[in-house]
A and B are shown apart, each in its own frame.
Chain A
């Protein structure tokens, strides 16, 4: 009996050395980052920053709750900056009161006014367009408008990710801003009935579905194309990418819907100086170049060239709608997706 207890105690004690694996609490030169952006997307930037400045970066990645975590941690929060996608989440951070103003004059690069919060609560780092992926084999046309997605000729041919995802909500919010709620709801209902299946997966999965023949067109962000075209680990993704072409919607009128990824400086950042160095670095030509060439996003700095690969897909004409309007209609868009039952898939 006692031998067994000893064994149990031993097992417990043997766990303890592992606790050394836990990171040390605070060092002098480091930046603590909460990220809604996936680690593999930001890693090249973190590496470049560490190499350039010698400042260590620490990351927690999550897809929900980071803003609330900062708000609850309050004055004691260890976090310095939060990286996020979507204008809704950027302005949400501002509403939570967890941001400190970012002094624009301290930034190394140029961030155009439309990609910055007027009060400096957040700044944009990259933009991406919500475009239409179309089967090279089964779709003839080379241009499209978002409004056309409601056309019955697409019945059973459209794929998309969940209507409640940030990217879809952004697009629907921009439709509300342009057309009003009633008209957008009619449009969304018609798009729902043109779906080939229930909204599911991420943007890459939509392209895979086109490749496999499940649908002919799909909504997606631009940079996924680059990630698939250059994926050496899973070479079959290159085939998926080769089966589609990109249509930049509304190129002949208001332009394609674009959204942002951006950064927030935490109100109680313990390493404010290092954090500002990091944010400033993200706006630099070097970092913007990494965003452009490695992640295939559009750099916000107009002086940094867009990747050749991205240019090869087509020309982006961005919708000039102010992004705060997209943020304003986000809740209305989310409720509309529920009302229409968009995520339940086609109903007639």
Chain B
């Protein structure tokens, strides 16, 4: 049935997928290799002093963020999908907006606002006539509690997105039945909706927790000493890169646990796929104080997670408007856009290659490699950057000596010197996000389509181009946008791998923040937020539209795959 051309095209796709997986794996193997060298005597200190505390801190942070994002995400998703109250239509997508702000920027805004020297406490002091910090009590924002608060406010949209989709997709009819049988709204929520949405919520929460695990910016601002924090300290203050790499590898155990939980969550989600009709469930009509409570419950997370930090940034940036026309600022914008463009297109292309390669041929090695490559998402950024330096520097060396011996011309650090390292780092770091979406997208396309297309004489490549990609378009778009935003926000790897005289928006924020010139940091920070905002709004709109479409012939791709997820189960 399938000609030779078809076969060779199939083999090419598998080969391409293998190359893509290898590219992503190499830096991770380099970190593993560094971890194999003896780390001197740092482990005694780590085990006796650092690890017990930082492990506890990390677990409390993750537990706090887990609980709070669940409450916020599931709660607001329930209100906006199942209830009717003033402003509901707006909240539908406004609730996603905090996703646009990097956690380190929210942290920095809150520290500025709530610190002893900030405007709020200064006002309190002048009103009540307090002179020193001993005269009154105020919650310390630079604390574990502060970190849980801030991270939850930025990360709850992950949970909101996944649980909203699950509320919308599958349970409308179940809700109607429960209510016909006389269950109260609360009872429907706790005994029917909550258990049914659990798998979806778990997917969102595990994503939020991965972000929280590898964060270094916000925890540094808050002085919260997590495991990632210890990785950096072992490296920088005790001069043991080996020890740091070992700690990072040990941390991966936690990541694997999260990935496992997430996969379990998805496994139970599979029945989603068969539902193609999204009947809008009849909404509970809220009036009077109930409507006020619902409105407040939805408004608060957006206000705290986006409104207040954005207001602080705007206020600071207004003192530095002259920066707007500054050549360095404009160059930073163009550099950021340039890198994020290239990296997101590349990442999505690699994801398609991987997913399609695995669809064409079941391959154990490939699926294992892909599963491992997802951990790039959770490795502390600077350590990952060191992992990327190793292969790139070696490749540079090979290129250099080849060019020298063949053309008599030394190329020098061709790859590292040109920003290729940055694009490579973004790809390794964010492949998991785009692959998760695209792979789930592929999984929802019936294999019958492939068979039909191939029977009609299309090669594997033609089938991908003419059948799969058009169907996958919304998924590709959302994967592209999310990767793009993540690239814009990325900081630790960017700092270490960038070429000479090269600044992005994120590094400009970092540079200003590192000399505590917060006003100078505000404008670039705001630019990152604005750029991040566009995709989030677009994402919210496309996913909202997909639910509204009455058509039941097209699979509900973007409906069931609302967001990034490093799910790697397609090979099964």
Contact = CB atoms under 8 A, between A and B. Distances in A.
A74 interface: yes
Nearest to A208: B117
A243 B53 CA distance: 38
A78 B45 contact: no
Residue from A60, A75, A92, A343 having most chain B Cβ neighbours under 10 A: A60
A338 interface: yes
Contacts of B417: 25, 78
A15 B50 CA distance: 46
A335 B49 contact: yes
A213 interface: yes
A311 to B, nearest CB: 25
Interface in B299-343: 331, 334-335, 337-338, 341-342
Contact of A78 (B134, B473, B500): B500
A72 B341 contact: no
A38 B511 contact: yes
Interface in B495-538: 495-496, 498-502, 511, 514-517, 519
Nearest to A91: B239
B341 to A, nearest CB: 4
A58 B418 CA distance: 13
Interface residues of A, number: 68
Contact of B393 (A21, A26, A76, A208): A76
Contact of B386 (A68, A199, A331): A68
Given A21-B335, A26-B412, A335 B45 contact: yes
Nearest to A211: B117
A331 B342 contact: no
A49 to B, nearest CB: 15
A23 B502 contact: yes
Interface in A17-70: 18-19, 21-23, 25-26, 32, 38-40, 58-66, 68-69
B197 to A, nearest CB: 33
Interface stretch (B230-238, B428-436, B455-463): B230-238
Interface stretch (B125-133, B165-173, B249-257): B125-133
Contacts of A339: 49
A4 interface: yes
A78 B412 contact: yes
B413 A76 contact: yes
A77 interface: yes
Contact of B495 (A38, A63, A234): A63
A177 B397 CA distance: 43
A76 B389 CA distance: 12
B164 interface: no
Interface in B108-129: 116-117, 122, 125
B498 A75 contact: no
Interface string B374-405: 00000000100110011001001100100000
A278 B126 CA distance: 52
B502 A343 contact: no
Contact of A38 (B45, B473, B515): B515
Interface in A125-182: 156, 162, 164, 169
Contact of B334 (A4, A21, A68, A213): A21
Contacts of A21: 331, 334-335, 338
A19 B470 CA distance: 30
Contacts of A162: 223
B134 A156 contact: yes
B354 to A, nearest CB: 20
A72 B386 CA distance: 8
A211 B117 CA distance: 9
A32 B382 contact: no
Interface string B409-437: 00111101111000000000000000000
B516 A204 contact: yes
Contacts of A116: none
Interface string A206-225: 00110111110000000000
Interface in B185-244: 223, 225, 232-233, 235-239, 241
A200 interface: yes
A75 B499 CA distance: 17
A74 B45 CA distance: 31
A118 B470 CA distance: 68
Q: Give the secondary structure class of B's interface.
A: helix
Nearest to B495: A62
A38 B411 CA distance: 30
Contacts of B133: 156, 196-197, 213-215
Contacts of A66: 496
A315 interface: no
A317 interface: no
A178 B243 CA distance: 29
A338 B49 CA distance: 7
B245 to A, nearest CB: 11
Nearest to B335: A21
A208 B117 CA distance: 7
B116 A197 contact: yes
B371 interface: no
A347 to B, nearest CB: 13
Contacts of A286: none
B263 interface: no
A338 B143 CA distance: 17
Interface string A71-113: 0111111100000000000001001000000000000000000
A50 to B, nearest CB: 13
Residue from A21, A62, A270 having most chain B Cβ neighbours under 10 A: A62
B323 to A, nearest CB: 11
Nearest to B48: A339
Nearest to B116: A214
A214 B133 CA distance: 5
Residue from B131, B338, B400 having most chain A Cβ neighbours under 10 A: B338
Contact of B514 (A38, A156, A234): A38
A199 B345 CA distance: 43
Contacts of B382: 64-65
A204 B140 CA distance: 20
Contacts of B397: 74-76
B142 interface: yes
Contacts of B414: 25
A334 B233 contact: yes
Contacts of B331: 21
Contacts of A344: 225
A78 B389 CA distance: 13
Nearest to A337: B237
Interface of B: 45, 49-50, 53, 116-117, 122, 125, 131-134, 140, 142-143, 223, 225, 232-233, 235-239, 241, 331, 334-335, 337-338, 341-342, 345, 382, 385-386, 389-390, 393, 396-397, 400, 411-414, 416-419, 470, 473, 495-496, 498-502, 511, 514-517, 519
15 contacts: A12-B342, A15-B338, A18-B338, A21-B334, A60-B501, A61-B511, A64-B236, A68-B389, A69-B389, A73-B396, A208-B117, A214-B116, A234-B519, A335-B49, A335-B238
Query: Closest 3 interchain pairs by CB?
Result: A58-B500, A15-B341, A18-B338
Interface of A: 1, 4, 11-12, 15, 18-19, 21-23, 25-26, 32, 38-40, 58-66, 68-69, 72-78, 92, 95, 156, 162, 164, 169, 196-202, 204-205, 208-209, 211-215, 233-234, 270, 330-331, 334-335, 338-339, 341, 343-344
